[in-house]
Amino acid sequence: MREAFYDQLDRTLGDLVSITRRVESAVSVATRALMEADLAAAESVISGDAAIDLARERVEDSCFALLSLQQPVATDLRTVVAALRMVSELERMGDLAVHVAKIARMRVPDLAVPADVRPTVEQMAAVALQMVHRVVDIIERRDVEAALDLAAADEEMDGLRRQSFRDVLDEGWAHGVEAAVDIALLGRYYERIADHAVSVANRVVFVVTGEYPTADAPA
């Protein structure tokens, strides 16, 4: 009976890794759509979100079955509960990639990102994508050290977000209100992807150690 429990738990954790890879792809393709005014890429991210939602439902169903049928305790209970929280975070990251794609789609055939703020937005996208990529290994290996290191990348993202605000609020901004709103939203979307990546990593730390890496436990 316990062997079946651990088999199902391993499959659930494997599903989390697969979802994270899907999210990584969604962020990458959405960014390409944004930077290249690629309508097909934007549409593929938007339509592909249903697969992430479905995968989330499967993980939730598996976790609820483990909780109700196996009544896990200690580390096993932490793992199941953390998996439920992580899959929700990952699904939200997929939604944020969709929001990026929708801005790209809305501005096609034009580019949503003016040339003079492109470096900042590109760097935000690169940091977000790298953080999602690192989360794959963090979940797969339950790597506490790598999870704790992710906070440094999040600080870089926060700095880039502040830079994007300075760009649009500069008195020399010449791209109008719509472009300013787009940049503000894009900064928020990439920043939230990074925040969710850190939250997922923190939950891995909790699974392994029984404690969150900060005094304030995530909701």
Q: What is the mean pLDDT of each run of 10 residues along the chain (219 residues)?
A: 82 96 98 98 98 97 90 88 96 98 97 95 97 96 94 92 93 94 97 97 93 63
- Residue 65 host element (H or E): helix 39-70
pLDDT tens column, 22-69 = 999 999 999 999 999 999 999 999 999 999 999 999 999 999 999 988
**How big, in percent rounded to 5, are the helix, strand and coil portions of the chain?**
85, 0, 15
What stretches of 71-111 show up as alpha helix (H) in DSSP?
74-107
- Residue 60 host element (H or E): helix 39-70
> What's the confidence (pLDDT) of residue 19?
98
C-alpha–C-alpha distance, residues 5 and 76, integer Å: 10
C-alpha–C-alpha distance, residues 35 and 112, integer Å: 8
Specify the DSSP class assigned to residue 113: S
> What's the confidence (pLDDT) of residue 5?
84
* Contact indicator for 83, 12 with CB cutoff of 8 Å: yes
> What's the confidence (pLDDT) of residue 214?
64
> What's the confidence (pLDDT) of residue 52?
97
Q: How far lies 51's CA from each of 48, 57, 166, in Å?
A: 6, 10, 37
> What's the confidence (pLDDT) of residue 215?
46
CATH number belonging to domain 2-209: 1.20.58.220
> What's the confidence (pLDDT) of residue 173?
93
Q: 143 phi and psi, to 5 degrees?
A: -90, 100
From 93, 58, 48, select the one nearest 192 (Cα to Cα).
Answer: 93
